[in-house]
Structure 1
Amino acid sequence: MAVRAVRGATQLEEDTREHMLDRVAELVTDVMEANGLEVDDFISIIFTATSDLTSEFPAYAARQLGFSDVPLVCARELEIEGSMPRVVRLMAHVETDLPRSDVTHVYLHGAANLRRDLTRTTSHD
Structure 2
Amino acid sequence: MIRGVRGAITVSHNEENEIVDATEQLVKSMITENQIEAEDVSSVLISVTEELDAAFPAKALRRIKGWTYVPVMCMREIPVTGSLEKCIRIMMHVNTPQSQKEIQHIYLNEAICLRPDLREKKIEE
What is the TM-score normalised by the length of structure 1?
0.91
d(CA) in 2 for partners of 1:54, 1:104: 28
Does the aligned pair in 2 maintain the 1:8–1:107 contact within 8 Å?
yes
In 1, Cα distance between equivalents of 2:93 and 2:118: 17
Which ranges of structure 2 fall in alignment gaps of 5 or more residues?
none
Listed as ranges, the gaps of 5+ residues in structure 1 are: none
The one-letter code matched in structure 1 to 2:41 is F
Q: For this pair of structures, how many residues does the alignment match?
A: 120
Q: The residue matched to 1:118 in structure 2 has which SS? A: helix
Corresponding residue of 1:53:
52
Tell me the percent identity: 32
1:27-84 deviation digits (Å, cap 9, x = unpaired) = 0000001101122221100000001001110111112214211111001000011111
Q: Which runs of 4+ in 1 moved over 3 A?
A: none
In structure 1, what is the equivalent of residue 89 of structure 2?
89
Query: Residues of 2 paired with 1:9 and 1:120: CA distance?
Result: 16
User: Which stretch of structure 1 is more off in the superposition, 104-113 or 37-46?
Assistant: 37-46
Change (3 A) 1:48 1:120: farther
- Do 1:104 and 1:119's aligned partners in 2 also have CA atoms closer than 8 Å? no
Amino acid of the residue matched to residue 84 of structure 2? M
Distance 1:46 1:120 in 2: 26
